[in-house]
Amino acid sequence: MDIVVAIKQVLDTSEAVDVVEIDASGKDIKKGALISRINDWDEYALEEAVQLKQKLGGTVTAVTVGPGEWDDTLRRALAMGADRAIRIDEDAAAMDSCVVARVLTALISRLSYDLIMFGAQSEDLGSGQLGPMVAEMLGIPHATLVVSLQVQEGEARVSRELEGGVLELYTLKLPALLTIQTGINRPRYVSFASIKKARDKELKVMSLGELGLSREALTPMVKLEKLELTPAGKRAELISGSAEEAAANLATILKNSGVILSG
Amino acid sequence: MDSIYKSLAEIVGEGYVSNQPEELFIYSYDLGTTEPHRPDYAVAPRTTEEVQEIVKLANKEKIPIAPLGGGLSLAGLAVPLRGGIALDLKRMDSIIEVNERARYVVVECGVSQGQLSSYLEKHHPNLRHSEPGAPPQATIAGNIAIHGQGDLAQPYGFNSDMVNGLEVVLPTGEVCKFGSCSISPNWFTLHPLPDLGLFLGWSGTTGIITKLSLKLYPSKKIKGVEQFVVEDEELVPEIVYKITHTEMADDIVAFSQAIPPMTSGLHHINILMTADSEKELEFKTGLFWDDILREYIRNGDGGFLNLSSAMKAGLTRRPQVSKASDWKKGGGFEYVGAIMPVETYPECYRRGVEISLRHDIPYTVLGRIIGRSHAMMFSWTYAFNRADPESIRQAREALHESDDLALELGGTIWKPGIYGQKLVMERMDPNTLKLMKKVKELLDPNGIMNPGNWEVS
Amino acid sequence: MVLADYKYKDIIHRCFRCGYCKFPTDWMDVNNCPAYARFRMESYSCGGRLWLIRAWLDGKIDWTDHLAQIVFSCVACKNCAEKCPLNFSDNIVDMITAAKSEMVERGSIPSAVKNFLENIQRQGNPYGDARIKRGEWVEGTGIKQYEGQEFLYYVGCVGSYDTRAKETAKTLGEVLLKAGVSFGVLGNEENCDGNEVNKLGEESLFQMLAEENIQKFKDLGVRKIVTLSPHSYNAIKNDYPKFDGSFEVFHYTQLFQDLIKGGRLNVSGGLNARVTYHDPCFLGRWNKEYDAPREVLNAIPGIELAEMERNREATLCCGGGGGNFYTDFLGGSETNPARIRIREAYATGASAVAVACPNCMTMLEDAVKAEGLEEKLKIRDISEIVGEACLVKRD
């Protein structure tokens, strides 16, 4: 089983929400003290790929389109169990999903693959489009939001998670592309020692030219105009009373504000 | 999900029942050479009522129960031979009452030896119980259920003779009380109510002891110890006989061991005594030295070991710490304990050395005197290395030979495992056997209580 | 990995399961192993854990989540090593840590441990809070950055980020200022000391942390270190020398002891309270320091020190070691050792429990609330008690 996993590196804003600031260009956030790491969804995809490889044999190749700093995430992918990694050296922030899809397609079509996996979306831009676009460009079937996966005899049986806990079951003929939802597995811990060991594995950097593409020929179809923070609310209400009273009060407030869907 | 698991969880709470491989693994083992047998559930109840519910469920579903205290019988008596429920009773660890005047303590079945010793030392320093040589994790209930003996065996007998009352859950789920506690709030005497001794010595096959009352004895301030050493094993029984005549000793233990090498072939008679004053201690010690042992010293047949204060402290410390398990750096040992006539000491020793030699195990034998030389608990101990299957096999063989030997010399095996139980039953009076069978069937019609043990064919 | 590769393969079979490891020194209660006290199943005692580790490495049982829980429920309190009568007892906790290492290298560890370690990898603290906030607690105290002063005051992760423990960090600093001690802190430059990482078996991460810290200390010319936490004290004193980092390190109670004796710290301020002291495992059993904190408390007139039944080497651990102050494997029941400890403390009639460790602080603060005793029993760090006694005002 040859598996290709497309991953990206994002800024970790989970614990540092209050330090997020828009930069001078108005189209990105300041890196500042934020640290980078693998996109959460992609980690699940990688883990799924590595587990499959451990069960069925074969290879896992991690690919990305991004700048040099993203090698950290590729190394982590190698430490998790990917056999090799390939990075197309470009600033992905200057591209839209369609352009990235075209670059990835050009790369992946040169690799042998039975299965391609993407994270269902990215933490920063959250478009969720990349996987389906690449599948279309490659002319292979795809399924998104996959929460469980079984592979046997040239087929992938997947469950997709819908609203309200409903699951759809699909069978796809391989080669196929899947976008992976969080929770499908428990990504393994990557120890410091295994990251060091992974330095022996192949991390290849390629240029657009080597794929027969040029930056000029890849014009984005979507243009980001502006990035802004939602204004922080200026109201605070003190809820008093006994624990039960306060809880009931709070529940009502949350329901009425639409924060919780009542049902 | 497993409906029995659900029912058990409803009785004791989810946290105290497990059918996970880890718990099942641990609870399948005895610490000795007994082969493991996997239970289906490990359950840890807290109250007598919970135990009742579990027993009723087990009866209904015909699931075996193997009750477990400290799990230190070293004869596999708590190994779930037919699977089922491993019932860990150690959560039932309340010390319910100490009655100073009547000198007794009422405890739940999970109270450990160490816990009781410590509690009495702190809160009732004038009282003590007869503490067995097992690690402090051993439970009071487990010990009396197998007729254990402690460091008051010589004056007062088996620990099971010190029981004033029992609360038992029958295999059919009813709770019974035996002794004065069944007719009054006092737990001070077992006799003279009709004798219903159906739960001691039965290896848990007739019911689960949930509470018991134990006689306590005076605890004196000063602990003294003397060790008399002789080379000729034939002298041991007569020396012991004479010392017991004085009625002044607490614990008398005669032992001999190959390690350290300088003690090999020698017999140490360890005499523990207690006193409330130096005068009392000197008086007692004087009786042993002057009246009894002087002639042996004069004849050059033996001498007192000069014990440093550190050694004395070690010998009088409670609980005693045994390092036997580490002699083969192997983490394991098992012993055959037999109740023997004291006069068999020399032969027990000689044959024990021979068996040990043949199995390449350094010999360790010990005889603890019970009563006024009425009997002794004689043990042949065999260390083994858990990581070496051959050493386990050798130990097991040596143990079986020792079981055979005990019966050959006219004694009986204390807390026998399956092998020893069969030997005893083979020799037993057939009418007695028949009665045992009847009693068992009466109490445990579905055969759920620790099956595999004492099964009369 | 097979048993043959395991670091302690020659001794792991030597556990007899005698059960001494469950007891405190005076046998009074069979539940002195925090995990065993919590779960009361044999699998959670030290001996049970060792047998399970051996069975796993030997291929007799498979890795499961439950096995990982059992192994990681060891909080490295060292009660077992203290009590085990056999000759291999010195290695017991290390044997369990080595098994944790095995699981760490395979990546198969409980999620909470994974988060703990990943947070440290990323942000230098187990909470995953931003590095740039580590030094915020210093605000308004007058405590200076380290620039060659006599002591480096090393705070640690809990003291830098935990709301309650931050107060302790501040108070300790202020007391040191009052006593005229020359010291500075690293602020945002401080990184995790790695003690818990070490006890969780992530050896290479610990080595990286230690080596980075040692280099940083050396570059700054640090010679003497005073720590808030016994965990930091333990790592720097006992483990950093392996990586060529030898510093004179003190736990702050030891420094207080000297300062009081030398008359540089006047603790005569009016304080009247019956207080009981909870020995932290990494100061007590791990480093045999039972006296300094007691001498400090006894030096304060009006403080009546009442000992709990289990004290010094017999102490019941609060369960805060081995990362458990974050992973919380021993919570969720009244048999949580921290809650058992609070009940013991309350039984002494004390109005406050004196602690000398921010992990103990966290565990006992949560426990006193769970026991509903927060009005009756206060948890106070020794630095706070001394702070009151030398009239360092805090609001």
Q: What is the CATH number of the domain that holds C325?
A: 3.40.50.10700
**Domain B222-316 grouped into CATH 3.30.70.380:** yes
Chain segment B367-412, per-residue pLDDT in tens: 999 999 999 999 999 999 988 999 999 999 999 999 999 999 999 9
> What pLDDT is recorded for position B327?
67
C253, C287 Cβ separation under 8 angstroms = no
Q: How many domains does chain C have?
A: 3
Per CB distance under 8 Å, which residues of A are interface residues toward C? 12, 14-16, 19, 33-35, 37, 80, 186, 188-194, 196
Q: Which residue has the tokens 């001996």?
A: C47
Q: What residues in C contact B382, CB-CB < 8 Å?
A: none
Beta carbons of A16 and C130 less than 8 Å apart: yes
> What pLDDT is recorded for position B428?
95
Beta carbons of C13 and B387 less than 8 Å apart: yes
Q: Are residues C96 and C192 in the same domain?
A: no
**Residue C394 forms part of a structural domain:** no
Q: What residues in C contact B23, CB-CB < 8 Å?
A: 41-43
Among candidate residues C321, C257, C241, the one with its CA nearest the CA of residue C72: C321
Q: Find, in chain A, the residue whose alpha carbon is nearest to that of C120.
A: A192
Q: Is the pLDDT of residue B196 over 70?
A: no
Chain segment C129-182, per-residue pLDDT in tens: 989 899 999 999 999 999 999 999 999 999 999 999 999 999 999 999 999 999
Q: Is the pLDDT of residue A262 over 60?
A: no
For C19, the closest of B21, B70, B385 (CB atoms) is B70
User: How high does pLDDT run on average in chain C?
Assistant: 94
Q: Are residues C318 and C287 in the same domain?
A: yes
Q: Which CATH number fits domain B92-218: 3.40.718.10, 3.30.300.130, 3.40.50.300, 3.30.465.10?
A: 3.30.465.10
CA distance B268 to B364: 12
- How far does the CA of residue C16 sit from the closest CA of chain B (Å)? 5
- How far does the CA of residue C130 sit from the closest CA of chain A (Å)? 6
Q: Are residues C120 and C252 in the same domain?
A: yes
Label residue C108 exposed, middle or buried (CB < 10 Å: 0-12, 13-18, 19+): middle
**Which residue type sits at B116?**
L
Best residue in A20, A43, A189 to probe C by mutation, most C CBs within 10 Å? A189
Beta carbons of C122 and A35 less than 8 Å apart: yes
CA distance C143 to B220: 60
**Residue C310 forms part of a structural domain:** yes
Domain boundaries, chain A: 2-211, 233-263
Question: pTM value?
Answer: 0.92
For chain B, helix, strand, coil in percent to 5 are: 40, 25, 40
Instruction: Supply the DSSP string of A51-96, one letter for each residue.
Output: HHHHHH--EEEEEEEE-GGGHHHHHHHHHHT-SEEEEEES-GGGS-
Q: How far is CA A115 from the centre of its chain?
A: 16
Per-residue burial over B393-425, b if 16 or more Cβ lie within 10 Å, else e, is ebbbebbbbbbbbbbebebbbbbbbbbbbebbb
Q: Is the pLDDT of residue B220 over 60?
A: yes
CA distance B286 to C290: 44
C87, C109, C131 - which closes a domain: C109
Beta carbons of A191 and C111 less than 8 Å apart: no
Q: For C200, which DSSP code? A: T
Q: Is C348 helix (H, G, I), strand (E, B) or coil?
A: coil
- How far does the CA of residue C58 sit from the closest CA of chain A (Å)? 21
Higher-pLDDT residue of C40, C392: C40
Domain boundaries, chain B: 3-90, 92-218, 222-316, 324-416
Beta carbons of A191 and C202 less than 8 Å apart: yes
Q: Is B387 helix (H, G, I), strand (E, B) or coil?
A: coil
For C66, the closest of B22, B71, B387 (CB atoms) is B22
Among candidate residues C385, C395, C387, C382, the one with its CA nearest the CA of residue C179: C387
Q: Are residues C24 and C119 in the same domain?
A: no
Q: Are residues C222 and C313 in the same domain?
A: no
Topology classification of domain B3-90: 3.30.43
CA distance B443 to B449: 10
Q: CA angle, A166 as apex, A163 and A169 as ends, to 5°?
A: 125
Chain segment A10-59, per-residue pLDDT in tens: 988 876 656 678 888 888 888 877 888 999 999 999 999 999 999 999 99
> What pLDDT is recorded for position C214?
98
Q: Which residue has the tokens 């003779």?
A: B161
Q: Are residues C141 and C226 in the same domain?
A: yes
Among candidate residues A136, C303, C18, the one with its CA nearest the CA of residue B74: C18
CA dihedral C198→C202→C205→C206, nearest 10 degrees, is 10
- How far does the CA of residue A186 sit from the closest CA of chain C (Å)? 8
Q: Are residues C24 and C37 in the same domain?
A: yes
State the average pLDDT over residues C353-357. Answer: 97
Q: Determine the structural domain holding residue C145 and report its residue range.
A: 113-258
Q: Which CATH number fits domain A2-211: 2.40.160.10, 3.40.50.300, 3.40.50.620, 3.20.20.80?
A: 3.40.50.620
Q: Are residues C298 and C231 in the same domain?
A: no
C290, C297 Cβ separation under 8 angstroms = no
Q: Is C299 helix (H, G, I), strand (E, B) or coil?
A: coil
Least confident of A43-47, B305-309, B436-440, C304-308: B305-309
> Could you tell me the two tokens for A74?
């590729």
Q: Is the pLDDT of residue C1 over 60?
A: no
Going by their DSSP bridges, the two strands A115-119 and A176-180 should be labelled as parallel
Q: What is the ipTM of this complex?
A: 0.94
C74, C109, C144 - which closes a domain: C109
Q: Are residues C92 and C117 in the same domain?
A: no
Q: Are residues C152 and C211 in the same domain?
A: yes
Q: Is the pLDDT of residue A263 over 60?
A: no
Chain segment C249-301, per-residue pLDDT in tens: 999 999 999 999 999 998 887 678 999 999 999 999 999 999 999 999 999 99
Per CB distance under 8 Å, which residues of B are interface residues toward C? 15-16, 18, 20-23, 25-27, 29, 31, 42, 44, 70-72, 88, 90-91, 93, 112, 114-115, 117-119, 122, 135-137, 319, 321-323, 325-326, 329-333, 385-387
Q: Does C333 touch chain B (CB under 8 A)?
A: yes
> What pLDDT is recorded for position C306?
96
Q: Are residues C42 and C128 in the same domain?
A: no
Q: How far is CA A18 from the centre of its chain?
A: 23
The packing angle between helices C252-261 and C291-298, to 10°, is 50
**Which residue type sits at B212?**
L
Phi–psi pair at B317, nearest 5 degrees = -70, 145
Among candidate residues C388, C116, C111, the one with its CA nearest the CA of residue C271: C388
Among candidate residues A6, A198, A39, A178, the one with its CA nearest the CA of residue A107: A6
Higher-pLDDT residue of B323, B226: B226
> What pLDDT is recorded for position A242?
77
Phi–psi pair at C127, nearest 5 degrees = -80, -20
Q: What residues in A contact C118, CB-CB < 8 Å?
A: 189
- How far does the CA of residue C99 sit from the closest CA of chain A (Å)? 14
User: How high does pLDDT run on average in chain A?
Assistant: 90
Among candidate residues B421, B382, B386, the one with its CA nearest the CA of residue B398: B382
C109, C133, C154 - which closes a domain: C109
Half-sphere exposure of residue C82: CA atoms within 13 angstroms, side-chain side? 24
Regarding the domain with residue range B324-416, which homologous superfamily does it belong to in the CATH classification? FAD-linked oxidases, C-terminal domain (3.40.462.10)
Q: Find, in chain A, the residue whose alpha carbon is nearest to that of C118.
A: A189
